[in-house]
Each structure stands twice: as C-alpha cells, then as structure tokens.
Structure 1
Amino acid sequence: MKRERPHVVVTRKLPEAVEARMRELFEVRLNTADRPMSHADLAQAAREADVLVPTLTDRIDQTLLAAAGPRLRLIANYGAGVDHIDVATARTRGILVSNTPGVLTEDTADMTMALILAVPRRMAEGLALMQEGRWEGWSPTAITGHRIWGKRLGIVGMGRIGQAVARRARAFGLQVHYHNRRRLHAETEAGLDATYWESLDQMLARMDIVSVHCPHTPATYHLLSARRLQLMKPSAYIVNTARGEIIDENALIRMLKRGQLGGAALDVFEKEPAVNPDLVGLPNVVLLPHMGSATEEGRLEMGEKVILNIKTFADGHRPPDQVLPSML
C-alpha cells in the first residue's frame, strides 16, 4: 500500500529549487507572496498540516501549539536557531522539532570576520564619504582606524560558528580567547590556539574585540548586560552575528554615545525587524539587515536539510536533525 504524502505548510518563500523538490515529494502549500504569516495564519496552518516549516520570524509559542490539530507531528524549522519555537511544549504534545545545523557555519563566520575588520578600519565611514561625493583626496590623517593584528579577540560561545571564527581570526593575527558553557576538549582548544576563560566578566575586561556566537535562550538573554558591557575597555569593539537579545541594546547605545566603547558591528537586533533609531547614524557603528547567513549556497543547503528531515520522518524514522529540550 502506497504511503500517503504528508501535507506540508511552508511559512515563507524558499529558493525555487527547494520549493520544486518539495512539490515533487509532498503535498505542499507554499507562501509565494513571501509575506510573514500572522499568528492567526500560523494557527490555521498548524491545524491543517502534518508538517509545519517555519522560519525565525514565526513565533511558535505555547498558545499556537495548544491550538494545533492532531495531524501536526513535525515542525521542520528552516534555520538552525529554534528560540522562536517552544520546543518543550511541542515535545509534550508529541510534536517533533528539527532544524538545519551546520550549513550556515562558514557563511556566518565569513560575515563575522568582515564586521571585525569593518569597525576598527572605519569602512562604513569611508564608504559613506565616497557615496556622498565628499572625498577630497588622500591625507595622512584622514579616516585612520586601528589595526587588528596582535589584538585580543574574545569569543562568547565556542560552538561551530565560534570555532570557525577562531580559525579565521588566527590568520589575521588575532589572539583568540573564549568563554563557553563548557570548555573545549584540550585537542580542539590547542588546534585553535585559544585561551579559555571560565569567568566571562574577566574575559570581557581584557579584550580588544568581543564577538557573540551563543544561542538565544532564557539563560543568555542580556548575557551582555549593562554591568558586563561596562567591564569592557573604552577602546573595545563588539560584534554580534548571533541574536540581538543577547546584548542589552539600550545599554550598548548609551555607552556608544558616551564614547565608552570603540564601536559596534551588529547584524542582529533586540526587537527585530525594528532597529532602534538611536543606533542609526552613529559613526562608530556598522549595521547589517540580518544577512550573516545569506548566501545562495547556504539557503539551498538549509532547504535540503529540511527536506531530508521531513522525508525521514514521513518514512517512519527519527529526523536526523531532531532538537530536544535538553539540547537547548
């Protein structure tokens, strides 16, 4: 007897090749308009679908899961982060959650290194000077920044992306330091030539550049609080390509305006998609629209992982990228 194809609802537009493959394999409802679904639309999809494919902009909370239909058995997230999904509630309701780990590591690490370079070297200011036609020629004292060679880089969160950043940083002559929930194995740590700090406070006080790479969880909300930000050197820079909620954004803005930090480079924001207007226009800040993982190759690989998770589940097996509450 032929197995019935699962009914899959996708909340945002995905790459065409991914959508085409989904149409071949599943009964799928796509979001061709690419407008974010309202909470009511998401609830309706959860009542109808066997598999829901959300993205980081979709809030899959306890209320929505309580209203889900009996058919919903898998939430196959298009993305690695699952802080927008109530994984614990999903599990109690017998709904599996999967994600797409690993495929965005190198892309995000590349963007992080670009930002680590951009702020000390004042690239955004130089670009604005050129685009606005204000450049009057070379001068020995114009747009002078700071070298990163020999500086101390403190990585907050030494998972896949943190380690990929560490590998790149060594090539740029940075001294790599890190704070992590668990210390790396000695062999891995030696391979990265990285120094472990058990105390985040002590590490922050000694770094020239701090780069954030931990997930957003209740434990990491405002991990870089006003108190911790004030521990940093006035000349230090902070880079965030992880989640905006990890930094107390209002405290960061106050310090940047007062000259208590050298600068910041942010690809994520605390109230996304809203960006605090006090951040916009600060000369020592580089802002990007959450594009750290935005490569065509990465987006395709994410789709392939989603499809594999759904196909494996539909065949009666555990999805290879299942997320458990204990993993968070």
Structure 2
Amino acid sequence: MNIFYDENMPFAAEFFSDLGDLTAFSGRTLTSADVRDADVLLVRSITKVNEHLLQQNKALSFVGTATIGVDHIDQQYLNNRNVKFHSAPGCNAISVAEYVLSALVVLAERYLFSLSTLTVGIVGAGNTGSRLSEKLSALNIKHVLCDPLLAENSADMRDFVSLEEALHCDVVSLHVPLTRKGENPTYHLLDAARLAKLKDHQILINACRGEIVDNNALLKMKQQGHPLKLVLDVWENEPTILLALISHCEITTAHIAGYSLEGKARGTEILYRALCQQLDILPSKQLADFLPVPAISAIEIKQDFDEILLNQLVKMVYDVRRDDAIFRQQINIQGFDYIRKTYPTRREFSAIKVTLNNALSSDAPHQLGFNK
C-alpha cells in the first residue's frame, strides 16, 4: 500500500511505517502526477483535494486531512469515487484556545487592563470554541457563545446568543468553519456593514479561516483610523495575503494558532486510527509514544494564583509575541508558507506539570490544562 503524506504532519512516519510504503510531499506544490500511485493520501489544509488533483489516480481508497477544517476537500467527488474520507475534528482545538489566551494575556499587559473586566463573545461553539470557553471559565472571565446551528440542537443545553449580541462584547473571537452555502454561511460573516458596527475599545481575534472577515473592508476601516485592536492568525487568499493589513494589527501570525506539537500530532494520530479501522486492524501506537519531554516539564507554585502569575505561566509555555515577531520579520523575505514550514516547536499547557504548594491557592492552572 502506497501512503502519501504531507511532510508537515508530525510523527507520520512513526505512525504509518507499519502500514505501507511512505512518501512525503510538500502540501502547497502537490500535483496530479505526484499522487498518481497513492492508495492513501494524507494532507493538511493547504492542499486542495479535488478532481483536478486526483485525475491521474485510479487506486486511491482513503483520504485524510489532519485538520479540523474540510473546506479544502471535495467530499462529493470522493464519495462519487467511493473513496473513504476522514478529518481530524478537535485535533488542534486546545492549541487554538491557548493561542487566544496568550494573545489576551499579552494585550492585557500591553494596555494595562484586567482580564477579569472583559466580556468575550465566542463565535462558533464547536470543538475550538468549547475549549476556549472552558479556559475562560477557569479564569472566571465572562463570555457568551454564538452558534446558530448548535442553538437549534435540542441536545446542546448551553445558552446561546445572537451574532449581534456576541459582537457587542469587549473581545470577539471567531471559531467557525468556512461555509459559503446554507442558512448560515460564514464567508465574510464580518463584512463591511458588521465591521462598521464594532466599537473603538473592542478586540477582534480571527483564528479560524481568513475568509470569515472581509480583509479589504477591515483594511479600509483601519486606514480611516478605527482603533479596533486586531489579532489575526488567518488571512484571505493565503499565502498571498493583504500585506498592508499587517501594520494595523496588534498580533499577526501565519495560520499557526493550531500548530502546537500536540495539536498537529493529534491530527496524525486520528488519521492513523481511522486508517487502521478501515483496514480492520488494531492500532498499536499512540501519541504518547512519540512526544518528547519538554525543556521545562514541571514547576511548583507557592503563592495564590493571580493575573500576574497567569501572565508568567502562560508566556512560559507559549508567548504569542514570538510568532508575531517572526511573522513581521520574515513575511516579506521568506513568505507565508516558509514561516509555517519552519515553525519552531511549541508545546501545550498539558506538557507542564504544575504543583500547587499553597492549600488555599486556586486550582485554575489545572483547570486551564496544566498537568497535575
């Protein structure tokens, strides 16, 4: 069996080596000829899997994307060819939630406000929005959820608000998939009209898909002097992004919010298990077999947990300012894809064991995801 996989899938060789012959590829430049002999094709979000890519392939039986989003996959075409498809829902949800938290910690320090005073509107309450909600709850930060599809699901007992109400919060954090059809399309969900209603003090965070926000309308608004604070990890037309927008942002990154080692590797593990199921074999490997020990693996807290300690703890594991600096320095020299391809290793909170030595201290670090 010929297994073709994106070279940026961590531990792909380790997971799939026993299942077939492996070939790694560059996801952005993949051609039809490259995958002509693939029985299994494993991609990330930069590879569009459609009839054009697969026109020379006659053997394909399984396609997997090691990502949450599936807008780059022509599922109808795969279904017509009887090719099994599997995505990795939730694989990097924790990573994205920790990206958002790091951004909020950095902005709170930069502008001298307390996180406890914020209201956060989470637009999209699936895996990623839910993980962010859990972390905000651990810190007693007020937040609301907006998700029209889940609001209609009687099995989901959470309270939901309208998009208009979510857009009135101090922070608006976007976590929806990209859809262009149906009753609630998300393409340009924040168009010029909705952007114009945002207030001077607000913070807008987009860490889902660039096309959710009309980037040209956003640039025009900022050029006219609107003080809205922007945190952008995703952009329209990646990798050919609207460079003029960068200077108007507080934090800018190259679609790496979900790029923790654990987040990317979970996607690999999910696809490994899905392929094992299709082949009717028992999985013999798990992610814990491959994750390295972090440089700092344990810390001890001997004081009450407060925002100063939160600031130190979050930035010790992940300081988003590093990625912002790399992006601004390299985007015009190396380009968008190079920044993603050479992204330095980043761990999640769970990689660090936190011991609380004060019996009265808040358990917030463990609720945030740090190990006990």
Q: Secondary structure at the match of 1:69?
A: coil
Give yes or no for the alignment of 1:115 onto 2:103.
yes
Residues 54/71 of structure 1: CA separation in 2 closer, same or farther (3 Å cut): same
Q: Report the counterpart of residue 279 of structure 1 in structure 2.
A: 245
Among 193, 217, 231, the residue aligned to 1:251: 217
CA contact (8 A) 2:42 2:65 kept: yes
Aligned 8 A contact 1:121 1:145 in 2: yes
Task: Check conservation: 2:68, 2:88, Cα contact below 8 A.
Answer: yes
Q: Name 2:65's counterpart in structure 1.
A: 77
Q: Which amino acid aligns with 2:83?
A: I
- 1:271: Cα distance to partner? 1.8
Task: Give, in angstroms, the shift of residue 147 of structure 1.
Answer: 3.0
CA shift in 2, pair 1:263/1:120, >3 Å:
farther
1:211 positional shift: 0.2
Pick aligned residue for 2:187 from 192, 217, 221 = 221
Select which of 191, 198, 201 maps to 1:235. 201
Unaligned runs of 5+ in 1: 1-5, 123-143, 190-194, 318-328
Greater relative contact order, per chain length (Cα 8 Å cut-off, separation 6+): 1
Q: How far off is 1:276 after superposition?
A: 1.8
Residue from 268, 272, 282 that aligns with 1:307: 272
2:78, 2:85 within 8 Å by CA — same for their partners in 1?
A: yes
Contact 1:53 1:78 in 2 (8 A): yes
Which residue of structure 2 aligns with residue 88 of structure 1? 76
TM score, norm. by length of structure 1: 0.77
**1:74, 1:299 → 2: CA distance?**
20
**How far apart are residue 13 of structure 1 and its match?**
3.8
TM-score by length of 2: 0.68
Would you say the 8 A contact 1:150–1:173 is kept in 2? no
Question: Which residue number corresponds to residue 141 of structure 1?
Answer: none
* Per-residue Cα deviation, 1:188-235 (whole angstroms, up to 9, x for no partner): 52xxxxx521x313431x211100001112121111111111122221
- Equivalent residue, structure 2, for 1:105: 93
Distance 2:214 2:15 in 1: 41
Q: 2 CA distance for matches of 1:149 and 1:259?
A: 28
Question: Aligned match of 2:164 in 164, 188, 201?
Answer: 201
Q: Alignment RMSD, CA only?
A: 2.3
- SS of the counterpart of 1:44? coil
- 2:257 and 2:280 map into 1 onto residues whose CA distance is 34
1:125-154 deviation line (CA, Å, top 9, x unaligned): xxxxxxxxxxxxxxxxxxx44333232211
Contact 1:45 1:52 in 2 (8 A): no
Report the 3-state secondary structure (helix = DSSP H, G, I; strand = E; otherwise coil) of the residue aligned with 1:196.
coil
State yes or no: 1:54 paired with 2:43.
yes
Give the whole-Å Cα distance in 2 for the aligned partners of 1:310 and 1:46: 18
- 1:260 to 2:260 alignment: no
- Counterpart code for 1:203: A
| Counterpart Cα distance in 2 of 1:260 and 1:14 | 39
SS at match of 2:117: coil
The Cα shift of 1:119 comes to 3.4
Indicate yes or no: 2:19 matched with 1:19: no
Classify 1:21/1:162 alpha carbon distance in 2 versus 1 (closer, same or farther; 3 Å). Answer: closer
Give, as a single letter, the amino acid of the residue that structure 1 aligns with 2:246.
V
Q: Which amino acid aligns with 2:41?
A: L
The verdict on how the C-alpha distance between 1:256 and 1:174 changes in structure 2, with shifts beyond 3 A counting, is farther
Shift of 1:257: 3.0
Cα deviation for residue 86 of structure 1 reads 0.9
Q: Deviations over 1:17-65 (max 9, x none)?
A: 431332222122123xxx4453xx4312443111111111111134334
1:182 maps to 150
Q: Are residues 187 and 269 of structure 1, via their aligned partners in 2, closer, same or farther at CA, if it must alter by over 3 Å?
A: closer
Point out where structure 2 has 5 or more consecutive residues left out of the alignment: 283-372
SS of the residue corresponding to residue 280 of structure 1 reads helix
> How many angstroms apart in 2 are the aligned matches of 1:186 and 1:315?
32
Q: Do the aligned partners of 2:75 and 2:85 also contact (CA within 8 Å) in 1?
A: yes
Task: Give me the whole-angstrom Cα distance separating, in 2, the residues matched to 1:187 and 1:308.
Answer: 27
Judged with a 3 Å threshold, the aligned counterparts in structure 2 of structure 1 residues 70 and 223 are, in CA distance, closer, same or farther, namely same
